[in-house]
Amino acid sequence: MKIIKAESYQDLSRKAANILSAQIILKPDCVLGLATGSTPIGTYKQLIEWYEKGDIDFSHTSTINLDEYCGLSPDNTQSYRYFMNEHLFKHININIHNTHVPDGMAVDETKECQRYDNLVNLLGGIDLQLLGIGHNGHIGFNEPNPSFEKTTHIVMLDDTTIKANARFFPTLQEVPRKAITMGIKTIMQSKKILLIANGADKEEIVRKALTGPVTPKVPASILQFHPNVTVVYCFEGGIL
């Protein structure tokens, strides 16, 4: 595991964007696994800046996101599809049909989970998966559990996650209680993983995940078993 300390949130974003763009330059038709949350916003901003300067070409790249809230449609401003369009896709030359986010409106949720797993396989697997981390150690929406959930599944969100994500919603009541997320096995099958963590409030959980026992009670701890993980962190100061 490669652990890189960033000097600031801006530095973290630049370092993460560097790793993602190196992947695109080395393999233009790569599959990037993408994440939401506030941490990757700066990374996406940096990628857009480099795209605008003519340094990266996304035209052959595909993306597949980790998760989506159940019950939120793509045009709902709180949905992760909307987030991705706003923070990245609409600013770059990616073919929108090559961008994938689970369907939070799927009537048959089990079928949607299977479709998503099949899609990862059809795309030939994920070359580089970008991850954030929740305060309870969740990755995607894989919450602490008695065992690791392997494939894409429906999850009831933890109270701590609902509270943490309430900052993006007008009221706590409006935060969806259910989400669809890639499983740990799918994430672990990515060829490379890039975990980014920012802010003093993430320090304890990152330390636990990277140096503590591997346990489904801290889902991100499984990353200790992955052969190609890079962690970029900055624990001083908040975002931006």
As annotated, the active-site residues are 67, 136, 138, 143
The two tokens of residue 42 are 């700066």
Tokens 């599944």 sit on residue: 153
Residue (30 or 132) nearer to ligand GLP, CB: 132
Residue (60 or 166) nearer to ligand GLP, CB: 166
**Which residues within the stretch 162-201 sit at the binding site for ligand GLP (CB under 6 A)?**
165
CA dihedral over 69, 228, 45, 85, signed as positive or negative:
negative
Q: Could you give the CA distance from residue 84 to residue 35 in angstroms, rounded to a whole number? A: 9
Query: Which of helix, strand or coil describes residue 156?
Result: strand
Q: Could you give the CA distance from residue 51 to residue 45 in angstroms, rounded to a whole number? A: 10
Q: Taking CB under 6 A as the rule, does residue 219 contact ligand GLP?
A: no
Q: Which of 30, 84, 88, 133 binds ligand GLP (CB under 6 A)?
A: 133
Read off the amino acid at residue 136.
N
Q: Could you give the CA distance from residue 56 to residue 119 in angstroms, rounded to a whole number? A: 25
The DSSP secondary-structure symbol of 139 reads: B
Q: Taking CB under 6 A as the rule, does residue 68 contact ligand GLP?
A: no
Q: Which of 39, 146, 55, 137 is nearest to 92 (CA)?
A: 55
Q: Which of 21, 39, 99, 142 binds ligand GLP (CB under 6 A)?
A: 39
CB 129 → ligand GLP: shortest distance, Å? 11
Stretch binding ligand GLP (CB under 6 A), from 32-40, 121-129, 147-155, 223-231: 32-40
Q: Taking CB under 6 A as the rule, does residue 128 contact ligand GLP?
A: no
Residue (58 or 141) nearer to ligand GLP, CB: 141
Q: Which of 20, 30, 35, 88 binds ligand GLP (CB under 6 A)?
A: 35
Residue (90 or 163) nearer to ligand GLP, CB: 163
The answer to whether the beta carbons of residues 190 and 33 sit under 8 Å apart is yes
Binding site for ligand GLP (CB under 6 A): 35-39, 66-67, 132-134, 140-141, 161, 165
